[in-house]
Structure 1
Amino acid sequence: MVNKKCAPKQQRVGVEERGHWGSKAEFLLAVAGNVVGFGNVWRFPYLCYKNGGGAFLVPYLVFVVTCGVPLFLLETTLGQYTQEGGITCWRKVCPLAEGIGYAGQLILLYSCMTYILILAWALFYLVFSFSPQLPWSSCDNHWNTANCIDFSTQNKTLEGTNRTDTASAATEFWERRVLGISGGIEEMGSVRWDLLLCLIAMWVVCYFCIWKGVKSTGKVVYFTATFPYAMLLVLLIRGLSLPGALQGVLYYLLPDPSRLTDPQVWMEAGAQILFSYSVGVGSLTVLGSYNAYENNCYKDCLWLCLLNSGTSVVAGFAVFSVLGFMAHEQGVPIAEVAESGPGLAFIAYPQAVAMMPLPQLWSICFFLMLILLGLDTQFVAMEVVVTSIIDMFPAVMRRYGRRELFLLLFCLTCFLSQLVMVTEGGMYVFQMFDYYACNGTCILFLCVFETAALGWIFGAERLCDIIEDMTGARANPFFKFSWLYLTPLVLLVSFICSLVEYQPLTFNRRYVYPAWAYTCGWVMTFSSILLVPGWVLYKLAIGTGSLSQRFHHLCQPATDCSVTQRRETELQHLGEEVEHGFASG
């Protein structure tokens, strides 16, 4: 007899099904595309170089083992078990912690507004890569100044030049042609119309990548998640064949054990793991929720974590072999050509490819790789937010045609909200969002409460039972220990250190933001953090009974529907087979 509490609701007329991945490959490629992105190409190699080379791998691996892999498995399991989005999943396991879901979606909303701007920059460069001469390879353009230096012609001839008063052709192209950057956030200036067109193009592409939900997303990732690896392999082989490549690789890997005593090194390793593993914001939960209940998420997670970290290491060789070539050609230390973030992707690397034979070819390969690396990360983040909101109102939002309309409204809202970022002062706003709204401190805070809610309230032992029921394999006892003690402790210490070691945001180490900008930044930071305790107080305030009774009730998970349904279905099939056997006999 079917348990009525767990029986699936009848499909309503005109309401679409939630859907599942068409195959395991679609899930693996979607997750791989989501977690492997810009951070693997520019952030990890730079952090290795900055924080002790090969020695940086020590704190990196510590955080992989203590935080990255346990959180990755935890969130994927949560999604596959509940079959819900990043918000409604908490209603089934711990209603008191639903604020974690809201906070994660808000951070993803901020990320959707900032991340796609990097794609617009990359598209801008890709278009110019088809020029007969790369415009950032010379100082003969209308945007160049008298202080411009063309490294392709001034090879090793910079002695006696005051380098603080000069700028490379690639730097001037980035700052004066692409950004048209103003003197500060107080001077927003006019809209950069060509950049705006690139931004519109990327929003259109992202919209059609996911407009049919998991059906279209699962097909798109076959290309967007695999082609960047082909491009990365091409760039790796080309980079290692360049003169000076060995010097770059040695700078990348040469250990400096003294850096291990610096707390900042460990904090940056922890932040890198949170970003590159895409934990804390519900992305893995939503992607896992489209799996079949019996999928072996345990094995999938271990392989995906290995792929993510392996890609970071390989990308480091590709990037620093080219930077070694660049330092060799200019006759300067790598310390003067290697920068993080946009500086590496849009100044140092373009400048390097301009010095190579067939520069247009390598420029096209690099920026095409960047676009595809970032594209699936962007549209998966959009899919996560849209899915999480639709799962809150399934009867209304899953009616035919409404998902596409809601997605269009979501894209237009994000686009209009970020128009300020394509003005002459937009780079300053972009950096504020990236530094405050989407930073590691916010995600650390969410991860602390996530592990506490699932490990202690829902129960680590129950999670291990669920993994065994879904996959047929018992999770290693290490994961239970991590969810209960190791992971929350490491995360809590890292969160406290991130507050103690806080450094105000600056631009190019020179421009200091005004006080009101820092205030706005902290407002964005706390806009997500305060949702967690705020939701707890709200639910306790509107509940009935004593405070203890309310708390106890809000910590109770929903009926174990997934396990019950699966076992009842198996019994039903077994009964049908027995009846069929008797009938045929």
Structure 2
Amino acid sequence: MICLVTCGVPLFMLELALGQYMNIGSVESWSRLVPAFKGIGVASFTVTFQMNIYYIIILAWAAYYLVMSFTSTLPWSHCNNEWNTERCISRLNVTLNDSIVTANISKVHRVVDAVEEFWEKKILHISGGVDEPGKLVWELAVCLLVVWILVYCCVCRGIRVSGKIVYFTALFPYVIITILLIRGITLDGASDGIYFYLKPDFSRLTDPQVWVDGGTQIFFSYVLATGVIITLGSYNKYENNFYRDSFIIAIINSSTSFYGGFAVFSVLGFMAKEQNVSVEEVVKSGPGLVFIAYPKAITEMPLSPLWAILFFLMILMVGFDSQFVAVEALLAPIIDAYPKYLYKKRNRMILTAVYCTFSFLVGLSMITEGGMYVFQLFDYYCASGLVLLWICFFEAVVVAWCFGQERFQEAAELMIGRRFPLWFFICWKYIIPVLTSAIFLFSIVSFKPLTYNKTYIYPRWAQGVGFCMALVSMICIPIIFVYKMMTTRGSLRKNVNQFQEACAILSKAYGETAKECADAYFCYGQALLDLARMENGVLGNALQKRYG
């Protein structure tokens, strides 16, 4: 909650306001706000590019599970499949013949649940390590192709079409969550899971890792530092009340997570009761929760195929929502860079097809027998907490200190007729830089090498590749800053002339007050942007309203 109030909501509002004010994609927004920090936009673009490639793999897994759920008996509920080994154990096997299970346990060192074997041997076909890529899992390749085709069909015609589709994909999961919740709370042991979910453990507040996890989770939950919010904000009308929208979205986002937690933990409580263990022992995070813990709990319910279908359909709907906006956020800066060609519908469709095809081909590396190891490299490094913290730090510093509090207040007043409360600037100027820096430094100090399933340790060369993938986005900010500073020195006269020309035209159109407003801007790029808006009547109306 502390990270939400001090970082999540203020940064969300900052990005939404910036996108609406600039009326353009994330890269150009930062370039025109403060040209020297165009690297923030490029870094966000890079993170989104990497994230789109590996995030959709989760949808491919969910699609495969969904297809396999259309059966009378779920294949991960028993050990009578071709991929099962002698170490396999399931609740069905225990129920049918306890003596056989006891004998099997005595013969092998470690038993493996049927759900885990289905996940690793049927879905992943997992190999021995990242240096053993193995063959392509063709079932997953087909699923990946299908989900990319669906994403293309929804995104190729632009935000107007994908925006209508999101009405269904965003609202339908609430129906499924409600159905799963009603079923979950009727299960034996559900109260134990809900109690575990709601009971706070205040002793964990002294653990720095809790603050690291909480802070990074907020950035993930609100899709900060990826350019997504700026891009979506750019589609708003110039006078849209982004201040109100920020609070509405924050409340809905947090409430949905809280509401969904009841559906999940009620089932986990039932699962713990069935296995006669504590809830804490069955709780997993990430893919382990979605593809192991929850599917296992489903097998212990009556009409389990029905609940499996509903659950994985919900995962697909939620995932498609995220993928739609992330692809749109990546395409928008490219289209903004070449508006003469890419604003045409046909050319946009071609660009989208080329991008989706390229991403699909790169994604094939994650659905080989060693693909899970590649997926974890992307997930652990590319869109990691370190990268997002780095970008969020510069976002707050650039807006609050470089562009300036007064100028950003004036931008808000031009759009919605009111200024930001003082609290948000306290967060942007002081709290967010300090908090993100502290979490960033602690993450580096407490860094642990990447492992799979807590047993396989990635080799050093793989760790090096992961660090390089993280640095690709992080170094964009300092490199472009240095480049802008070096190139500006040689063409300073030209920059000043362009700035003076913009101020002169603004002054001629709206008088000396407008010229003073333009002179106060941090960079000539902002004056040029306002000049462009003045010419199409957007900013002209706002300035005329403000300065008479």
**Alignment TM-score > 0.5, same fold:** yes
Task: State the distance in 1 between where 2:313 and 2:199 align.
Answer: 30
Tell me whether 1:558 sits opposite 2:526 in the alignment: yes
Corresponding position: 1:248 with 2:193: yes
For residues 385 and 252 of structure 1, the distance between their equivalents in structure 2, rounded to whole angstroms, comes to: 36
Q: Given the alignment of the two structures, is residue 264 of structure 1 paired with residue 209 of structure 2, yes or no?
A: yes
Measured in 1, the distance between the counterparts of 2:539 and 2:463 equals 55
* Equivalent of residue 518 in structure 1, options 445, 463, 471: 463
Question: Does residue 508 in structure 1 map to residue 476 in structure 2?
Answer: no
Structure 2 Cα separation of the partners of residues 242 and 153 of structure 1: 22
Matched, 1:329 2:274: yes
Structure with more contact order per residue of length (Cα contacts < 8 Å, sep ≥ 6): 1
The 5 Å alignment of 1:175-214 reads 175-214=120-159
* Separation in structure 1 between the aligned mates of residue 55 and residue 129 of structure 2, nearest angstrom: 21
Residues 563, 296 of structure 1: CA spacing in aligned structure 2 closer, same or farther, 3 A cutoff? farther
Residues matched between the structures, number = 513
For residue 541 of structure 2, the aligned residue among 547, 554, 569 is 569
- The residue type equivalent to 1:199 in the other structure is L
Query: Paired residue for 2:77, among 132, 137, 142?
Result: 137
Distance in 1 (CA, whole Å) between partners of 2:159 and 2:226 is 19
- Residues 114 and 430, structure 1, Cα contact 8 Å, conserved in 2: yes
Q: How far off is 1:567 after superposition?
A: 6.2
* Distance in 2 (alpha carbons) for counterparts of 1:348 and 1:423: 23
SS at match of 1:225: helix
Indicate the residue corresponding to 1:499 in structure 2: 444
How far has the Cα of 1:487 moved from its partner? 1.6
TM, length-normalised to structure 1: 0.84
1:66 corresponds in structure 2 to: 6
In structure 2, C-alpha distance between the alignment counterparts of 1:567 and 1:445, rounded to whole Å: 32
Q: Which amino acid aligns with 1:86?
A: S
Q: Deviations over 1:498-535 (max 9, x none)?
A: 11111110000000111100010100011110010000
Distance in 1 (alpha carbons) for counterparts of 2:470 and 2:489: 32
Aligned-partner Cα distance in 2 for 1:567–1:125: 51
Letter in 1 for 2:87: N
Distance in 1, matches of 2:263 and 2:134, equals 37
For the aligned residues, what is the CA RMSD? 2.4
Paired with 1:310 and 1:279, the residues of 2 have a C-alpha distance of: 18
Residues 245/404 of structure 1: CA separation in 2 closer, same or farther (3 Å cut) = same
Offset, 1:87: 0.4
**Conserved in 1, the CA contact under 8 Å of 2:56 and 2:144?**
yes
Conserved 8 A contact 1:464-1:480: no
Compute the displacement of 1:303 (Å).
0.9
Other-structure match for 2:403: 458
- Judged with a 3 Å threshold, the aligned counterparts in structure 2 of structure 1 residues 546 and 264 are, in CA distance, closer, same or farther, namely same
Look up the SS of the partner of 2:489 in the other structure. coil
CA contact (8 A) 2:157 2:345 kept: no
In 2, Cα distance between the equivalents of 1:537 and 1:568?
34
Counterpart residue number, 1:303 = 248
1:146 equivalent among 76, 86, 91: 86
CA drift at 1:152: 3.8
Task: Confirm or deny: 8 A CA contact 2:13 2:246 kept in the other structure.
Answer: yes
Report the counterpart of residue 170 of structure 1 in structure 2: 115
Assess if the C-alpha contact under 8 Å between 1:458 and 1:555 holds in 2: yes
Matches within 5 A, 1:26-41: none
In 1: Cα distance, 2:166 partner to 2:491 partner: 50
> Is 2:377 aligned against 1:432?
yes
Identical aligned pairs, as a percentage? Answer: 45
Q: Give the CA deviation at 1:474.
A: 2.8
Aligned equivalent of 1:89, options 21, 29, 52? 29
Answer yes or no: is the 8 Å Cα contact 2:450–2:457 preserved in 1: yes
- Report the TM-score when normalising by structure 2: 0.89
Q: Which amino acid aligns with 1:558?
A: Q
CA–CA distance in 1 between the matches of 2:485 and 2:522? 11
CA contact under 8 A between 1:455 and 1:483: conserved in structure 2?
yes
Q: Residue 389 and residue 167 in structure 1: after superposition, are their counterparts in 2 closer, same or farther (change >3 A)?
A: same
Rounded Cα–Cα distance in structure 2 between residues aligned with 1:567 and 1:84: 14
- Aligned residue number for residue 128 of structure 1: 68
Cα distance, 1:562 vs. partner? 8.2
SS in 1 for 2:91: coil
Residue identity in the other structure for 2:5: V
Deviation at 1:96, TM superposition (A): 0.7
Q: Distance in 2 between matches of 1:355 and 1:243?
A: 11
Indicate the structure with greater helix content: 2
2:44 to 104, 121, 141: 104
Paired with 2:40 and 2:540, the residues of 1 have a C-alpha distance of 32
Question: Aligned residue for 1:352?
Answer: 297
| Structure 1: distance between partners of 2:251 and 2:447 | 31
> Which position in structure 2 is the counterpart of 1:580?
none
Question: Which blocks of at least 5 consecutive residues in structure 1 are unaligned?
Answer: 1-60, 574-585
The letter for the 2-side match of 1:236 is L
Q: Distance in 2 between matches of 1:570 and 1:89?
A: 19
Q: Distance in 2 between matches of 1:86 and 1:164?
A: 54
How far apart in 2 are the matches of 1:567 and 1:394?
20
Q: CA deviation at 1:570?
A: 7.0
Distance in 2 (alpha carbons) for counterparts of 1:227 and 1:401: 31
**Could you tell me how far 1:441 is from its partner in structure 2?**
0.3
Aligned partner of 1:468 in structure 2 is: 413
For residues 134 and 491 of structure 2, the distance between their equivalents in structure 1, rounded to whole angstroms, comes to 57
Give the partner amino acid of 1:404: M
1:278 CA drift (Å) = 0.5
Amino acid at match of 1:259: R
> Are residue 387 (structure 1) and residue 332 (structure 2) matched?
yes
Task: Measure how far apart 1:190 and its partner are.
Answer: 0.3
Matched, 1:274 2:219: yes
The 1:436/1:567 distance shift into structure 2, 3 A limit, reads closer
Measure, in 2, the Cα distance between the counterparts of 1:139 and 1:182: 21
Match of 1:227 among 151, 158, 172: 172
Structure 2 distance, partners of 1:131, 1:297, is: 47
One-letter code aligned to 1:87 = V
Aligned position for 1:77:
17
